[in-house]
Structure 1
Amino acid sequence: MSASMAFAHGVTIGDQGYIQEISGANIIPFIYLGAKHMVTGYDHLLFLVGVIFFLYRASDIGIYVSLFAIGHSTTLLVGVFFNIPANAYLIDAIIGLSVVYKALDNMGAYQRWLGFQPNTKAATLIFGLFHGFGLATKIQTFELSEDGLLTNLIAFNVGVEIGQLLALFGILILISIWRKHPSFLQHAYSANTLLMTAGFTLIGLQLTGFFVA
């Protein structure tokens, strides 16, 4: 496996070439790229699955998804616009850790181990910051034109939120259907074990990339 394959926030070669060639404000294309990134970003989707797994009320889902969006958007904008450096592999390893953290939370691990429940809203916001910074580190490697940069970044963020809503809608439909069957509670622990395993796999891939890069 090459080091480049370990990026969870990968951008296709075609999209990368397009981003590097254009200049000026390109609102619609960047909205599309942002939406595409979220819908195909398996690290984001895994975390969102963990976040909403036991959320039943629309108001609760809205709060948690909004916190994630605030964190994601903030570090993406700030990281790219101010060119804040960070190692992409290590950031993406933390993103993998976010999936593990949420899976363990859903399994009730922290109440058993620590005797109390950590603030889930704060955790969602904090990990949202890392998710956004993960993509920021990738975008920083491209030679983006300064002309229209802020406008394009905002458009990209709008696309990310549109993609997040689309992905969330699909996830909610599947989970809602599953919740109607007795197997949901019977296999919820196993499902989160698989989610945790996926998170550890992401961590392993990113750390491998870090050491072989």
Structure 2
Amino acid sequence: MMRALLSVLLMLALAPAQAHKPSDSYLTLSVKDQQVKGQWDIALRDLDYALGLDQNGDGALTWDEVRAQHQVIATYALERLALSAGPGACPIVAGEQLIDQHTDGAYTVLRFTAACAAAIDALTINYRLFADIDPQHKGLVRLDHDGQSSSAIFDPQQARQSLSLASPSRWAQFRDYVRHGVWHIWIGFDHILFLLSLLLPAVLMPAAARQSQTIKAAFIDVLKVVTAFTLAHSLTLSLASLHVLSLPSRWVESAIAASVVLAALNNLWPLFRGRRPVVAFLFGLIHGFGFAGVLADLGLPQSTLLLSLLGFNVGVEIGQLAIVGAFLPIAFALRKTWLYRQLLTTGSALIMLIAAVWLVERAFDLRILTA
């Protein structure tokens, strides 16, 4: 079991080090009458893996290399996207391509148009991007029409969905953003490692204490840490999403990596000494800006701004509680074993190493670990 747990940490180490998340793309479709205007943001690292954009093999994509492959990129992507309204297909015509910077790296921005044969009541989307090479890839789709927005998450298991142009219910939009929140905490490797680093000591009593640790005491300790983290990141996520406060993404991502380093280091050499909830709150403020970067990539519908923001927050908490719920019983059962002591020390050391690499990469815009 110990080997399996360490293997999971190694898999996290080999994940895209600059990424908040694994492979996602962002597809925005704006519908007016029979016309569809699209913008598709696709990570260049994913396209490079699929198409070999790095022509000279030096590990760094240049603008010239990307521009030389614009037609190849457009053909590859649009062959894996189909739009239809009613019984008729809506042929897609590629437009210009740009480059944009998201929180997890550079993306190509592919613009296109599509014309349907009749007025559109519902748009059916068949999304198959990277389905043959990455079963974990997600397509995050937003449909805009007459000032209203709806969204959906596409993957190989849900590759074909129909989105109605009728005004979506507030409940449906809330539910969509809950799903987004759950998904993004589950794939936010740095958030997960930070949280686990703080939770690992929760089932252990201080060496000076004579009484045995109880599941109730461990639960209370976990509750303090998780509540502090939740309050903090909810605060800054809301402020940043409402454009009240913002920080440069490189600073935020670097600080998140540093928080993971310190949280793991605390398990090897106590730095906080009983102040883990305070640390969870302080660093949670920074992690909230990271969540806000993800939410900015998704886009918030202005018509239900606060409700969608609340839904995303609720989703993050549901995903977080699921992790805690899976962690605590197992950790408590193993707390007196050699296995758990090794996980606390060796696992924390490995987490610290991973996060240190992330910190160097993010702070200095380098690439040490490759996906």
Percent sequence identity over matched residues? 26
**What is the alpha-carbon distance in structure 1 between the residues aligned to residue 244 and residue 143 of structure 2?**
16
Q: Which protein has the bigger helix share?
A: 1
Q: CA separation in 2, counterparts of 1:63 and 1:5?
A: 29
Q: 1:88, 1:138 within 8 Å by CA — same for their partners in 2?
A: no
C-alpha distance in structure 2 between counterparts of 1:188 and 1:135, whole Å: 27
Higher relative contact order (CA 8 A, sep 6+): 1
Q: Could you report, residue by residue, the CA deviation over 1:98-125 in whole angstroms, capped at 9, with x for unpaired residues?
A: 1111111111253xxxxx8483222110
Partner in structure 1 of residue 131 of structure 2: none
Matches within 5 A, 1:173-184: 173-184=329-340
Deviations 1:53-75 (A, max 9, x none): 11021111011111001111111
1:7 Cα deviation after fit: 3.1
Aligned with 1:49 (options 192, 196, 199): 196
CA contact (8 A) 2:184 2:316 kept: yes
Which residue is 1:6 aligned to?
A: 18
Q: Deviations over 1:115-165 (max 9, x none)?
A: x84832221101111111112134335553311011100011001100001
Q: Distance in 1 between matches of 2:286 and 2:259?
A: 9
Query: Quick one: distance in 2 between partners of 1:42 and 1:172?
Result: 19
- Whether contact under 8 Å (1:97, 1:203) holds in the other structure is yes
- Quote the Cα distance in structure 2 between the aligned partners of 1:27 and 1:103: 35
Q: 8 Å contact 1:39–1:166 — kept in the other structure?
A: no
TM-score (norm 1): 0.83
Instruction: Give the superposition deviation at 1:168.
Output: 1.5
Structure (1 or 2) with the greater strand fraction? 2
2:174 to 10, 27, 45: 27
Q: Return 5+ residue gaps in structure 1 as ranges.
A: 111-115
Q: Which residue in the other structure is 1:131 paired with?
A: 287
Read off the aligned partner of 2:287 and give its amino acid letter.
H
- Aligned residue for 1:67, secondary structure, equals helix
1:85·1:137 contact (CA, 8 Å) conserved in 2?
A: no
Q: Does the 8 Å contact 1:104/1:196 carry over to 2?
A: yes
Could you say if the C-alpha distance between residues 70 and 166 of structure 1 is closer, same or farther in structure 2, counting changes exceeding 3 Å?
same
Q: CA deviation at 1:36?
A: 0.9
- For 1:104, which of 265, 270, 278 is the aligned residue? 265
Q: Shift in Å at residue 186 of structure 1?
A: 4.5
Corresponding position: 1:18 with 2:141: yes
C-alpha distance 174-205 of structure 1, shift in aligned 2 (>3 A): farther
RMSD between superposed Cα atoms in Å? 2.7
- Residue 72 of structure 1: SS of its match in structure 2? helix
- List runs of 5+ in structure 2 lacking aligned partners: 1-15, 27-137, 151-167, 204-217
